[in-house]
A and B are shown apart, each in its own frame.
Chain A
């Protein structure tokens, strides 16, 4: 994938015949937007200071900017989302934030029914998203939950089709395994 400014990058790695990892890297934090936000907050604070002549406004503005930046980097801005598929163990989703924090969820293979691309109508357009269908333990044929993937990076259909094809190859393996056992 080319590295343009408004582009996201998909990387597929195959570790072994039954283990693959797909990672989607989002846009990193732009210096331009950070500086714009900081400048606007400080300009507003300075204007308030000129009105009220209270220096607490300026220190409050600095405090707010720092706290806001930390909260944004640690809880909001997602740098990379990755999907690790191991045929006999399960599927693992990881989101890593700009501050280095990683949020991981692992779903065992016995709970996974299938991986599909779903369509959704959002306002005036149709969007596609990849999701995992979870099996209901009481009724093996029905779907109990739908877990959407890559929610922050939102790759487009061409990325999703590649990931979907790779996933299906691995999921096929577990069907052959269960047939031979």
Chain B
């Protein structure tokens, strides 16, 4: 038994009698009806029109059968419809018949050379033409990766969606057109268009050109040699604000380019970038208005110096505690005093520097706060940079402590090898045995003892400052994570999924309608929208994301050995 599937658009259910025009897919034994041509028509003109449509759309559109919508069955009409089958020869010839007050249609197939003597089963599937045309099918993940699948394996649904989407030209003729051919399809009551969309399309061209010109000017300034001298380029690479601004500049360049988007993913990407930028700037302006109202910026600047003072005082107390008897451990008095005084002097310098800057802080902060209008992400990056600058002394202390500790550990390991009569062979990158002289052994043992007994003091300083540094790194990491989230969230896709869920289709779903024995099986095909998780995953914007460089194991190893850690790696950085 052969099954024939007829996909019928629900908008044509109330159309008057005429010819069925559509695409026949022989591999799947299914007919996709696209429109109905009404009487009166001249067959030659219909054939000419259809060949024109075939050329433009590359879809094999042809007359598939007849459609009759009348109050009761008339003998003359049915004979006339059969005769039409001889004019537009198509194998098989479909005859759909609907009585005006009945839900159940009758469908018969006429085949000149029937392949099987048994009767065919017919399945009638109704589909919403407008939604199928506008929607974009997202096949399940494992199917998109195979590039060498044959045409038969290609998803049947994809062919259906493709056919309807490509036949846009067919839907451009509405019933108010003065032509020899009268069609019924989803747009036959009048072609839809929106004034706002058309105006925006016209206005976007000069705006894009202006934007491209401005952006080329800005990027030429950024790339100029003046800003590339050594201290400046080092500072630019370290500030996260510059990275974020560069990223946003790239985005603006993508939006303002004159080339039209080629396919759906590119179009969605442009739209996502545009909406994300708008949302970012809106949030930034909101933040700015909140900051500048009631002079909150002034209050912030006023509390900044006392906070910095407080942090410095806490550090001083910490160092005094370390110089005494911290946690009951007995330190080496001399080394303790040297290290403690060294760090205390640093803090003293830092405090003087902050106090020197204090009259200008309010003004600097006021102008820097204005840059929040460029976006919330820029404001957050500036916050992260301010935190980095304010805790610069903690970073310095961490580097001093780490270097001292690292030196000590290497010295200890090398002298321990000396104890056992071994040596590190740099050429062969391995440990070899070596015979030492007596005086070498003596000095080595002396140095080993000194380093070993000074280890607890250095280790404690290293531990304390590493913990402080890790705290600052975690705070900065959280801010960067938030910036990343705002950068990469595809807001336009999420809004589309919320408001026009048929545009993003994961697949279809079928519903069985009322049945009557003897009549063909009736199904309703609806679009199954994509889930929110898959929307975010498919349309995520790429960012210069920062993610942990090392695994936990290697991080612990580096901490133990005293190597400097920079736990967040940016995508553009080269691997060390």
Interface residues of A, Cβ cutoff 8 Å to B: 15-19, 21, 84, 86-89, 92, 94, 104-106, 108, 110, 137-138, 144-145, 173, 176-177, 180-181
Contacts and interface: CB of A to CB of B under 8 A. Distances in A.
B507 A105 contact: yes
Interface string B510-521: 101001000001
Contacts of A108: 155-157
Given A89-B5, A92-B510, A106 B528 contact: yes
A88 B149 contact: no
B305 interface: no
A144 B145 CA distance: 14
Contacts of B143: 137
A96 B142 CA distance: 27
Contact of A16 (B142, B149, B510, B521): B521
Interface of B: 1-3, 5, 29, 115-116, 121, 123, 125, 142-143, 146, 148-149, 152-153, 155-157, 507-510, 512, 515, 521, 523, 528
B153 A177 contact: no
B146 A137 contact: yes
A111 to B, nearest CB: 8
B3 A18 contact: yes
B121 A104 contact: no
B115 A88 contact: no
Given A89-B123, A105-B507, A15 B521 contact: yes
Contacts of A18: 3, 121, 123, 521
Contacts of B116: 180
Given A104-B528, A106-B507, A84 B2 contact: no
Nearest to A138: B146
Contact of B509 (A92, A137, A180): A92
Chain B contact residues, majority secondary structure = mixed
Contacts of A86: 123, 510, 523
B430 to A, nearest CB: 47
A17 B142 contact: no
A101 B512 CA distance: 18
Nearest to A102: B509
B3 A177 contact: yes
Contacts of B509: 92, 94, 104, 106
A88 B512 contact: no
Nearest to B522: A15
Given A15-B521, A88-B29, 12 more contacts: A16-B121, A16-B521, A17-B1, A86-B123, A94-B509, A104-B528, A105-B528, A108-B157, A137-B143, A138-B146, A138-B148, A180-B115
Given A106-B510, A137-B149, A88 B5 contact: yes
Contacts of B149: 137-138
A145 B140 CA distance: 12
A92 B524 CA distance: 13
Nearest to A13: B512
Contact of B515 (A16, A92, A144, A176): A16
Contacts of B3: 18, 87-88, 177
B155 A15 contact: no
Contacts of B510: 84, 86, 89, 92, 106
Contact of B512 (A19, A87, A138): A19
B512 A177 contact: no
A18 B149 CA distance: 28
Contact of A176 (B1, B29, B142, B148): B1
A117 to B, nearest CB: 24
Contacts of A104: 509, 528
A134 to B, nearest CB: 9
A106 B511 CA distance: 11
23 contacts: A15-B512, A16-B121, A16-B515, A16-B521, A17-B1, A17-B121, A18-B521, A19-B512, A19-B521, A21-B512, A86-B123, A89-B5, A89-B125, A92-B509, A104-B509, A104-B528, A106-B507, A106-B508, A106-B528, A110-B155, A138-B149, A180-B2, A181-B29
A121 B457 CA distance: 59
A110 B156 contact: yes
Contacts of A110: 152-153, 155-156
B521 A173 contact: no
